[in-house]
Amino acid sequence: MKKRKAKITRKTSETNIIVELNVDGKGVSNIKTGIPFLDHMLTLFAKHGLFDLKIKAKGDLEVDMHHTNEDIGICLGEAFKNALGKNEGIRRFGERTIPMDEALVNVRAVVDISGRPFFNNIKSERPYEDKDVQGGYNLEYTRQLFQALINNFPITMHISILSSGPDMHHLIEAIFKAAAKALDDATQVDPRVKGVPSTKGKL
């Protein structure tokens, strides 16, 4: 099977980003975004999705983390798209539900590598307070990163917060883990699938 790898470089007046992705990896990562909490989230994203992932990013963090965070999502989406090529032989669909520690945090991610970008913007079953975690990273930044990834893959992704406790760190961590596992499922090659998994013959 052809190696499913990609390298994406994005340089703008706001950011300079290099992303290297191996979809069929072992979860090895080297993440340097300049945003420590995001480094942690992307490291566990790679670990639990079994993606080999290198990210080196420099951005205008003196303004805020928005540009860097969003552009990393853009590059990550482009990397998945380029690595998978024509999407031949893949399972296409993935779904995972992830709990975190206190059992009050429960997140489900559902993925369809559909060729159509759609994101449900992280649906919650009940209200919660979007508190900042370490360094100011919060749920809104999480939404922005995944929206950028989905737009540039392009895929359909639903992320649902089924239940939530007071720890925003655990909630965001559960989101990254659930998304990683669902993407791992969806990108796996199934030997029974011949060509593109669509009756249209194209995704």
Does any domain span residue 203? Answer: no
Does any domain span residue 18? Answer: yes
Tell me the CA distances in angstroms from 78 to 26, 71, 73, 172, 186, one per residue in order: 20, 11, 9, 23, 16
Does any domain span residue 195? Answer: no
Does any domain span residue 17? Answer: yes
Classify residue 90 by its DSSP letter: B
pTM of the model: 0.94
For residue 177, give the CATH number of its domain.
3.30.230.40
Angstrom distance (rounded) from CA 35 to CA 17 = 13
Does any domain span residue 147? Answer: yes
Range of the domain at 38: 5-187
Does any domain span residue 200? Answer: no
Does any domain span residue 27? Answer: yes
Angstrom distance (rounded) from CA 44 to CA 51 = 10
Angstrom distance (rounded) from CA 93 to CA 97 = 14
Domain count, the chain: 1
Does any domain span residue 197? Answer: no
Strand segments (E) across the chain: 5-11, 15-22, 29-32, 52-59, 93-100, 105-112, 118-119, 123-124, 156-163
Question: Please, what sign has the CA dihedral across residues 159, 162, 165, 170?
Answer: negative
pLDDT by position in tens, the chain (length 203):
689 999 999 999 999 999 999 999 999 999 999 999 999 999 999 999 999 999 999 999 999 999 999 999 999 999 999 999 999 999 999 999 998 876 567 899 999 999 999 999 998 866 666 778 888 999 999 999 999 999 999 999 999 998 877 788 999 999 999 999 999 999 999 999 988 888 787 77
